[in-house]
A = this chain, B = another copy of it.
Amino acid sequence: MARHSNNTLRTVRFYEEEGILRPVRRTEGGHRLFGKSELERLMLVTDMRAAGLSLDEIKQILAVKESAASGGEASKMATKVLAAKIDELREKLQELTRLQDDLMKTSDVMSVCLECHDPRFPLDCNSCARLQAVPNLPRSMRVLWSTNGRMKGSGGSGESA
């Protein structure tokens, strides 16, 4: 189970404690034996965790069927909660894509510094013509290359709470 789902034994045991997984039985020596469908369950849980869902949210999703009185009701509930999660995923994907884009732009812009031995580094990169030549620096570039008041001699201009 653990290896096939790229989890640790600790995680599998923890999920059992939480009532998310259940072994079909134990060996005489106490080792857990799981059904095949339980592995798919674990893999789904793993992916949802990676997507940022809490175990409580995941439990709620997994419990939809048994909390419904009919197939129609279960289907309606599931459709609703799935739609919400799909939407959250869409927004998260946008966030991550924007971050990735920002980092890539930074990596690109930063290539003009590869041969830099300018003595103004690290205190005064702002006055460097190579960087001033770039229209609008990506945020990660601004943050990573700023001195930020962290090293004395420079800093951000305004202050607020």
In the complex with contacts A22-B150, A156-B37, A86-B104 CB distance below 8 A = yes
- Closest B residue to A116 by beta carbon equals B71
- Interfacial chain B residues near A34, Cβ < 8 Å: 159-161
In the complex with contacts A106-B82, A122-B65, A151-B66, A36-B160 CB distance below 8 A = yes
Judge if A59 is at the interface, Cβ distance under 8 Å.
no
In the complex with contacts A22-B150, A122-B65, A139-B43, A33-B116 CB distance below 8 A = no
Secondary structure of the A side of the interface?
Answer: helix
- On whether the beta carbons of B50 and A96 are closer than 8 Å, the reply is yes
- Interfacial chain B residues near A47, Cβ < 8 Å: 95, 98-99
- On whether the beta carbons of B113 and A155 are closer than 8 Å, the reply is no
| Bound complex: CA A107 to CA B96 (Å) | 24
- Closest B residue to A48 by beta carbon equals B99
- Interfacial chain B residues near A117, Cβ < 8 Å: 70-72
| Bound complex: CA A35 to CA B155 (Å) | 8
